[in-house]
Structure 1
Amino acid sequence: MVASDDIEPAGVKVFIDATLKNFKEDYNRSAKDPYAGIYPRGRKWPTMALEAGYSERYDALVGDTDLLLQGTQGRIGLVIVVKIEPLAPGETEIQNGFVQVYEYDQKLNRSVRSGRRKRLYPPPSSRLQPCLKFTWNQVLRNKIGEHISDSEQTPPLYLENLRSILDENVTRHLAFKSRGDDDSEIE
């Protein structure tokens, strides 16, 4: 969003592995490190979080989603869940994976699925670039008036961009698995 000039550069930060604490009700003793979170300037809680699982089961990821959405009573409004199937012995490329968005439903006071799952792997053969689309209200929540530019639509989150990040992390995982503590660069 910042790169496309759709939002002022200081308006939003993306934090990786920030520990969240002080959840509400049944979650009050929990802490969580979502893979990433989008924080509009001036907000304690992210508006959106990303949870990714490789060896973690999908139902455990959904439990993390409940913590992030219900445990903040909607202060976090959206969680993007990425589930990648672990590689079988000898595999070097991701074979199966999908993305699913969850949101906090204020009326039900709980997390609910938003839209359908989108396939990440194997990549679709269609010429259309699959993406996730969000509204400015979903991304910025109560800070919407402070950060919007003239653009009425948020830029989409292209799944191809997400795939390239996942592919790099799997390559890194395999490099560490095969080389131990070697600090050389990935080839």
Structure 2
Amino acid sequence: MWREPWPSSNRMPFTKKRKLQLSPEQCSDFYADQYGKFFFPSLTAFMSSGPIIALTLARNNAIAHWKSIIGPVNSTKARETHPECLRAKYGTSDLKNALHGSESFHAAEREIKFMFPNSVIEPFPSREGIEEYLSRYVNPTLLHGLTELCKHKPHNPCVWLADWLMKNSPNKPKICDGVTVEEAE
């Protein structure tokens, strides 16, 4: 979560962005794992004092990458040890450290569902799964399309191939004389 305006110089590939203001009760629920700690009342009061911007980041090792960008939790320590990190630049105290980062994948799932209740979190496919999908579905279609492209030799090959792919998408059922024909796998 970002408590201040997002700096334009730090663009990130976020998949979701939402500006909202949490109530003290919502902050208590979000930071339930901190309940009972001496700073809990101040944390919930501060986090509910104004709007926040909730973001999701999608990339390989997203949690570790985000943590390296935001820096240590303690803004004072961050200024000493990681002066270029976001908390060093924008944090004003331990409590007001400017950003939140999930501690683990499990925490990120919970926090994303909290901030974006209608989200569906799907697992990232494995390298083997991606390779199988490409070899089974994408490569044969592209090979067929590129072969047809070579046969036709159109004036604008990119537009021709795009049109061919739209007409020959393996994800669309074929319609013949008003009857949908499902192809067997």
TM-score, scaled to structure 2: 0.30
Structure of higher CA gyration radius:
2
TM-score, scaled to structure 1: 0.29
Larger strand proportion of the pair: 1
